[in-house]
Structure 1
């Protein structure tokens, strides 16, 4: 069973106190980001992470399965005059990017939304450059008072197993207030 965030609740993604428990700057600081990087924000929603990421890298692909979210982000990018973000609609089982095309793949609060998690993790590996890193943040599998139903969340161990089975290795693993954070790299084939 999948649980997609309702686009009608998009303003909830921008609540002011979100930065107190999910600060893009602190999360992006866990991996070295270089100005020449090409990055992808998978499950970008309204751009809570896409926009800060766009200030740090050459290009960002904002990818989501919900056109309404991409439309909201597109309006925001135009208002802010941000030109280095390209939005792409995903089918949910394929990442619309070329093989080995991104240095950094970020996915925040989206892993639990993928219908075929194994396939999407393999897709992440496909689009990531050999020396690239994936940064995954998702809700811990416990009641946090908000977020998706606990029944659709993945434990950190389950998430690690999923990525390791797809040929990733864990570089960093952290517990945050309501989430876990993983930094992963591709193991040599």
Structure 2
């Protein structure tokens, strides 16, 4: 688990409106509670499918993706004015402390969440991705996570061994300094709202 990327050659699938059955734009906005002067980050933004939905409701939306080729694909379809591209991993975000009002990830937590052995990050990062999020999200800011469930259908989404269960994800977030406001285990996904 952890530190995977979505294949760029399959990026067209990220624009499938069928994705809304796993997290609708209304559900995402309700969990994120964006404000017109807000600064938020889309973690693993890909082609901007959900960034397009959130951008009209904030001042600045950072489309964060480790793959610059995903930003190129996003640019091809057109980018809302509020969107700024950031090519970085979640464990090394180029923001100051408390810079973000919120952040969200849709089906990407399994790509950046830490895989640990005896409390040590197996990838050797100086700072773990969740601790980095706790650093850049202001006190009271929200982190919304919707991802494939380890208990979900193995025919939908990434392999089960790459996924996290609700208890594991909430434990990781709490250990990084987040308070869990909402935690739901759904048929295919988990949904978590955590505040710093």
Give yes or no for TM over 0.5. Answer: yes
User: What's the offset of the Cα at 1:130?
Assistant: 1.0
Contact 2:113 2:130 in 1 (8 A): no
Alignment partner, residue 173 of structure 2: 163
Number of positions where the alignment pairs a residue of Structure 1 with one of Structure 2: 183
Is 1:183 the counterpart of 2:193 in the alignment? yes
Structure 2 spans left out of the alignment, 5+ residues: 116-120, 122-127
Q: Which has the higher contact order (CA 8 A, sep 6+)?
A: 2
1:95-124 CA-to-partner distances (Å, cap 9, x unmatched) read 122211111111111111127456000011
User: Residue 134 of structure 2: which of 121, 125, 150 is its match?
Assistant: 125
Is 1:87 the counterpart of 2:85 in the alignment? yes
User: What's the offset of the Cα at 1:92?
Assistant: 5.0
Contact 1:89 1:96 in 2 (8 A): no
Contact 1:59 1:84 in 2 (8 A): yes
Contact 2:91 2:130 in 1 (8 A): no
In structure 2, C-alpha distance between the alignment counterparts of 1:21 and 1:59, rounded to whole Å: 25
Secondary structure, in 3 states, of the residue corresponding to 2:110?
Answer: helix
- Structural mapping, 1:18-167, within 5 Å: 18-78=19-79, 82-91=80-89, 93-114=91-112, 116=114, 119-144=128-153, 145-167=155-177
Off by >4 Å, runs of 4+ in structure 1 = none
Structure 1 spans left out of the alignment, 5+ residues: none
In structure 1, C-alpha distance between the alignment counterparts of 2:146 and 2:159, rounded to whole Å: 16
TM-score by length of 2: 0.86
In structure 1, C-alpha distance between the alignment counterparts of 2:77 and 2:20, rounded to whole Å: 18
Alignment partner, residue 17 of structure 1: 18
Contact 1:3 1:148 in 2 (8 A): no
Contact 2:146 2:190 in 1 (8 A): yes
In structure 1, C-alpha distance between the alignment counterparts of 2:74 and 2:24, rounded to whole Å: 18
Secondary structure, in 3 states, of the residue corresponding to 1:17?
Answer: helix
Contact 1:93 1:120 in 2 (8 A): yes
